[in-house]
Amino acid sequence: MEVKSLPEHVIERKMLKVKICGITNLEDASLAVRLGADMLGFIFASSPRRTSPEVAKDILRQVPPFIKSVGVFVNEDPEVIRETINFCGIDMAQLHGDESPEFCNQFMPAAIKALKIKDESILQSVAPYKGKVKALLLDTYSEKMPGGTGKSFDWELAVKIREMGIPIILAGGLGPSNIEDAISTVQPYAVDVNSGVEESPGKKSPILMKELFEKITRIRIEERENRK
């Protein structure tokens, strides 16, 4: 029996979701959850924020239930991804390399595809991923790095991608100084914050984290009031 796709109004977010990525220790994970994060991201690819499956598993054993975990992989072997997800208890795979729609589809319904945004040419890459991923994470293009540049991109491109009907997670240089403008402009399903709340790569700043979530909490309260 053919299963029809949900209408787009059904997949629109009801409340902004927040992912804190680059988690490497329990202290940062606990702070993120306490402040209101919905998702924790663990990087299993080459990065100053890379963590091991053993560390990620130990952290996830100690976080509360219903907090989603996301594993970040770059052009990794599918079997390694599966083994890591199963070992750690990871909920979703974020594919941050050159993975094709067909590659991503094998991890559905737990696949997020990262797209590196440089210019409008990225728009032609979006449609093939529809139905093959749960969401697209939009990050800033860099020739040298697959992600974590700490730089933002033209958010109007994110708006155009959102209008194509795939839930988007906005990333790329987000932090306390621009999170309100980013959310207001793009209206994403979720935001992904990493270097914008760090003291150093892999170590979050409690001050910046609290400042970020104070602003996000205000936005969530406004959204709740607007739905009444």
**Residues with catalytic annotation?**
21, 139
CB 3 within 8 A of CB 175: no
Burial of 164 per CB tally in 10 Å (0-12, 13-18, 19+): middle
**Collapsed DSSP state (helix, strand, coil) of residue 11:** helix
Q: Which amino acid is at 67?
A: I
b/e 100-111 (16+ beta carbons within 10 angstroms → b): ebebbeebeebb
**Collapsed DSSP state (helix, strand, coil) of residue 193:** strand
